[in-house]
Chain A
Amino acid sequence: MKLTVAGESKDFKDGLTVAELLVEQKVDTPQFVTVSVNDNFVDKENFDSTVLKEGDVVEFMFFMGGGA
């Protein structure tokens, strides 16, 4: 199935969960990333149970705390 992940359209295996996508995308410390699917927040507790579907648009939002 095709997903749009962080603005890029790519092919993924069917039935992929958000948690599996985070591993596949090599996201560090996935417990601290914010994920949205089709403009809705996905609660961290639901990363494992959220199954992605053809055409879903996934965004990651990362903490960035520096500034000085």
Chain B
Amino acid sequence: MAFTNEQLQRYSRHIILKEVGAKGQKKLLNAKVLIIGAGGLGAPAAMYLGAAGVGTIGIADADEVDLSNLQRQIIHSTPDVGKAKVQSAKETLNAMNPDVEVKTYRQFVAADNILELIRDYDFVLDATDNFPAKFLINDACVIAGKPFSHAGIIRFQGQLMTYVPGQGPCYRCVFKEPPPPEAVPTCKQAGVIGAMGGIIGSLQALEAVKYILGVGDLLTGSLLTFNALKMEFRKVRLPKWDGKCAVCGEHPSITAPVDYAQQACEGVNLGNNA
């Protein structure tokens, strides 16, 4: 497939990069990325992936746009309040870049739909707001051998890590099990600074793009943390894969996705970093 003149112009700042070039831009146009959650993380991630010309972007989210989302979920605008988030996101991406095919899934991810959902995608972004979904996405991606980016944000903090099969620990290796729901404050109680989604969601988009291009180092085997109050990024080296994990270990006890009770927007245990 040859580029149109419009595409040569649109992607000129990519094509000029030696790490991208015409070849890399084609890879992006042929790539399929699934974003689970069209909120604080998913909104900026979807916009940068769409602008970059990732050819197929799937967006899964069951919710509707609420006025309280607009402080950070910049893919949605004031007239979108009440609209399905996936629809609002699709309209924004369609207006931004006609090269992108947007597939929408207006549903919560669950044990009975996740494997089907991720199957056709090259890379998955966990842009959800709750631990049950984060563990579900991890387990499904491990089981399906699918690379994905995990991220979490709360208050003035964010963090992310990338899982690629065979290249370091998975999310469950590090965090084992969802914390009990009563142990954590809700999103409304905790809050989140709007630009945090922009920073961490954009980093997730970058991980997807780098994975597709096959350039640079991914956040496999490390957890990148960001503290906005101290304006400090820190790359925490994760422990070695020890083969003991319940899903990616040598003798896994979890061989199919499992549902946990839902509680949205959790933040726990920020310790003295909070």
Residue numbers in B under 8 Å from A45 (CB-CB)? none
Q: Which of A24-54 contact B (CB under 8 A)?
A: 25-29, 32-34, 36, 39-41
Contact A65 B130 (CB under 8 A): yes
> B254: CB under 8 A from chain A?
no
Contact A65 B238 (CB under 8 A): no
Contact B236 A67 (CB under 8 A): no
Contact A28 B274 (CB under 8 A): yes
Residue numbers in B under 8 Å from A60 (CB-CB)? 271
Task: Pick the residue among A36, A65, A68 that contacts B268 (CB under 8 A).
Answer: A65
Residue numbers in A under 8 Å from B236 (CB-CB)? 6-7, 59, 61
B249 → A minimal CB distance (Å): 12
Contact A65 B131 (CB under 8 A): yes
Task: Pick the residue among B173, B190, B265, B268 that contacts A29 (CB under 8 A).
Answer: B268
Report the interface size for chain A: residues with CB under 8 A from the other chain. 24
Contact A67 B267 (CB under 8 A): no
Q: Can you give 27 contacting A-B residue pairs, CB < 8 Å?
A: A27-B272, A29-B268, A32-B269, A33-B271, A34-B176, A39-B237, A39-B240, A41-B173, A41-B244, A61-B223, A62-B269, A62-B273, A63-B179, A63-B184, A64-B152, A64-B153, A64-B158, A66-B154, A66-B187, A66-B190, A67-B39, A67-B127, A67-B129, A68-B41, A68-B69, A68-B73, A68-B265
Q: Which of B214-245 contact A (CB under 8 A)?
A: 223, 234, 236-240, 242, 244
Residue numbers in B under 8 Å from A66 (CB-CB)? 40, 129, 152-154, 187, 190, 192, 265-267
Residue numbers in B under 8 Å from A36 (CB-CB)? 238-239
Residue numbers in A under 8 Å from B264 (CB-CB)? 68
Residues of B within 8 A of A (CB): 37, 39-42, 69, 73, 126-131, 134, 151-154, 157-159, 173-176, 179, 183-184, 187, 190, 192, 197, 223, 234, 236-240, 242, 244, 264-274
A39-B41 Cα distance, complex, nearest whole Å: 29
Task: Pick the residue among A27, A59, A68 that contacts B271 (CB under 8 A).
Answer: A27
A64-B269 Cα distance, complex, nearest whole Å: 8
Give the most central of A25, A26, A66: most B CB within 10 Å: A66
Contact B40 A68 (CB under 8 A): yes
Residue of A nearest to B85 (CB): A68
Residue numbers in A under 8 Å from B152 (CB-CB)? 63-67
Task: Pick the residue among B41, B129, B183, B272 that contacts A32 (CB under 8 A).
Answer: B183
Contact B159 A64 (CB under 8 A): yes
Residue of A nearest to B125 (CB): A67
Residue numbers in B under 8 Å from A41 (CB-CB)? 173, 239, 242, 244
A31 → B minimal CB distance (Å): 8
A47 → B minimal CB distance (Å): 14
